[in-house]
């Protein structure tokens, strides 16, 4: 923990949003993947966040990624008999991922990350200004 807990709060939020950005990127990269079986189909990922009190001050809380959960949505079954991965009935299985919803999540995570960068930078500027007052 740093001497200024605001750095810990903003840092934990930036770390959490970074995980969120990574999961969205993974979901978008695999949105068009298909498999021969529903059991082998990629499942969308979603980070689960939890607020955690910071050591030394129970009034302040940071955020932590508790887990990266897989979606329990059933894969989409598509009839594509000419596809090399098609099963005996001619079906392939694709993940149930909405690219538009993923892009909205990506924009939200990006803006949250940037907001925390601004908090971090503002706190740094204030700390430097406070230190220069003592000269």
N-term to C-term CA, the chain: 27
Q: Check pLDDT > 90 for residue 1.
A: no
When computed from its CA atoms, the radius of gyration of the chain, rounded to whole angstroms, is 21
Q: What is the pLDDT of residues 34-51, one digit of tens each?
A: 999 999 999 999 999 999
Q: Check pLDDT > 90 for residue 59.
A: no
H or E element, residue 119: helix 99-133
Three-state SS at 17 = helix
Q: What is the pLDDT of residues 80-113, one digit of tens each?
A: 999 999 999 999 999 999 999 999 999 999 999 9
Task: Report domain extents, the chain.
Answer: 5-133
pLDDT of residue 6: 87
Provide the pLDDT confidence category of residue 2 given band limits of 50, 70 and 90.
Answer: low
């Amino acid at each position: 923990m740093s001497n200024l807990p605001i750095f810990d709060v903003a840092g934990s939020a930036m770390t959490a949003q970074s995980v969120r950005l990574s999961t969205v990127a993974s979901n978008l990269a695999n949105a068009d993947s298909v498999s021969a079986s529903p059991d082998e189909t990629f499942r969308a990922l979603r980070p689960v966040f939890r607020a955690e009190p910071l050591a030394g001050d129970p009034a302040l809380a940071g955020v932590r990624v508790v887990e990266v959960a897989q979606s329990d949505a059933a894969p989409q079954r598509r009839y594509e008999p000419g596809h090399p991965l098609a099963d005996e009935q001619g079906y392939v299985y694709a993940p149930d991922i909405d690219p538009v919803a993923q892009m909205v999540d990506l924009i939200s995570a990006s803006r949250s990350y940037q907001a925390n960068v601004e908090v971090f930078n503002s706190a740094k500027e204030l700390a430097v200004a406070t230190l220069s007052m003592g000269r």
